[in-house]
Amino acid sequence: MSEHFHQYRRGGHTGRGGYSGSGVSSTPASSSLPPERNLTEDLQSAPIKTIAKPETTSGRVIAVERLEYIGSFNWSEASKPTIIVPGSPSVWRNRALPYRVPRDTGIRFVDQTGYRMPTYPLYPLIRAVDIMSEDEGDPFDWSTVDFVSDRNGLRKLLRWINDDGTAKEFRIDMQLAGRNTVLLNRWEKKTREEPNPRYSTFGFSFERQSTYKAPGMEQAAATAYHRIVKYDFDGLTMVVRFEVDACTPPPSPTSAQGTRRQTASTDVDSLSSMLSGLAVASGAGKGPKIDKDSSTAELDVIRAGERVPQSSLIEMTTRSRTNALNYDWIEAYPQLFLSQTPNHYLAVHNRGEFESIQKRALGDPELKRVEAQLQGSFRRLANALKTIQNIVVEHGERGRLSLVFRDGALQVFQRRAQDSCLPDATMRRFDNLEHVPST
């Protein structure tokens, strides 16, 4: 829910997204917001290619396989871009119903990472994974990855594939790293926005009043929690970042310790160990401390939080009574599927008074039927990604390409600037030739 307030309107105007711990910007007035960027800014005038929609195919079942949790972080409110590693999502309070929340107000983030680190939007992802894997003594091998992307970009490609004439235009910037890895960089016309004055929404307020920050996160000025997973998608090795709205509270106190890499079926982490052990590295009452060993010239790092189990993650959505009846699972389900978020809470309200919460699990029969309906779309997405990878590899390490969807067509443009989307030292993380298969 946190990624697409401005993009998802099919389910009605009471949907919301963007608040994940602190989705409302501190900017005091809309006059301080910059104008929207032009979709084709810094692009060559003519496209070099139009990508045809993959044909519908039958046969193979597309599943997210070999899921691994490899990193996570929260953004921290600071003048220099600062992340909290591994961080923590907010915790579900499980309040008794009904309860009323105020309507949403204030400027909200469309893309918090794009706002806080526009030059290197994938850099916090890379740093979080590298820090956490090195803590385990097992440095992550980036050369084996096919795609590094936000979930948001994959969903945009699905909307192009399923477009019935209503999909909104979008852009995704691309770059080759190493020999085969495609970096998909989120690009938005605006990184913050104000609520539409024509509508009253309650999603941000609902999340604030239905969750609490995990210990240490308030002290570290934590905002949105981002999680990074690795998985196999029809033979493609994907590294995907996504926002998490909340996590379930622990069923009972325990001292069980989690492991770094978890799958949905073998997840034995204890969220209660997170709640009992969570602390800011500098110690309670002394304020957050920057970890100089983990920080770089581009990004500061605070070491705080605890790894939480994949099984505890929650995606929250709010709808009015009327719109809840017509909830569009064909549009919404990929958000869960592409991140393997296991819990979906649909909170239903009447003018801000929340009356019921419909809780569903990823493996419920109802959602499995939706997944079966989407198999054709997932097959086409896998084929589209392979086509995109071939195009990016063909243009090599100097290529600076962008996907632009508008007027029903997905086209490839060259960018004018040669700026890299990652620092040079980070780009070299994709050149581990020991793990590149010989040709």
pLDDT digits (tens, 9 = 90+) for 288-346: 799 999 999 999 999 999 999 999 999 999 999 999 999 999 999 999 999 999 999 99
Which residue type sits at 236? L
Residue 258 pLDDT > 60, yes or no?
no
In a domain, 383, yes or no: yes
What per-residue confidence (pLDDT) applies to 99? 97
What per-residue confidence (pLDDT) applies to 405? 98
Beta bridge partners of 329: none
What per-residue confidence (pLDDT) applies to 286? 58
DSSP assignment of 30-92: GGGSPPPPPTTTTB-SS-SEEEPPPPP--SPPP-EEEEEEEEEEEEE--SS-EEEEEE---EE
Q: In this structure, what token pair is assigned to residue 228?
A: 């990074």
Classify strands 409-414 and 401-406 as parallel, antiparallel or unpaired.
antiparallel
Question: 189-198, 294-303, 382-391, 392-401: which range is least confident on average?
Answer: 189-198
What per-residue confidence (pLDDT) applies to 253? 54
- pLDDT tens-digit profile of 85-131? 999 999 999 999 999 999 999 889 999 999 999 999 999 999 999 99
* pTM of this structure: 0.87
What is the domain extent for residue 359? 30-435
In a domain, 10, yes or no: no
Distance CA 422, CA 319 (A): 39
Residue 256 pLDDT > 80, yes or no?
no
Distance CA 139, CA 71 (A): 12
Q: What is the mean pLDDT of residues 359-384?
A: 97
Residue 274 pLDDT > 50, yes or no?
no
- pLDDT tens-digit profile of 206-222? 999 999 999 889 989 99
What per-residue confidence (pLDDT) applies to 288? 75
Share of the chain above pLDDT 90, in %: 76
What per-residue confidence (pLDDT) applies to 287? 61
In a domain, 227, yes or no: yes
- pLDDT tens-digit profile of 36-55? 999 999 999 999 999 999 98
Q: In this structure, what token pair is assigned to residue 62?
A: 């597309």
Residue 252 pLDDT level (bands cut at 50, 70, 90)? low
In a domain, 1, yes or no: no
Question: 24-33, 65-74, 145-154, 185-194: which range is least confident on average?
Answer: 24-33
Residue 251 pLDDT level (bands cut at 50, 70, 90)? low
Q: In this structure, what token pair is assigned to residue 255?
A: 């001292």
In a domain, 107, yes or no: yes
The pLDDT mean for the chain works out to 86
In a domain, 19, yes or no: no
- pLDDT tens-digit profile of 409-426? 999 999 999 999 999 999
**Does residue 125 contact residue 309 with C-beta atoms inside 8 Å?**
no
Residue 151 pLDDT > 90, yes or no?
yes
Residue 8 pLDDT > 60, yes or no?
no
What per-residue confidence (pLDDT) applies to 297? 97
What per-residue confidence (pLDDT) applies to 2? 39
In a domain, 14, yes or no: no
Residue 264 pLDDT > 70, yes or no?
no
In a domain, 4, yes or no: no
Number of compact structural domains in the chain? 1
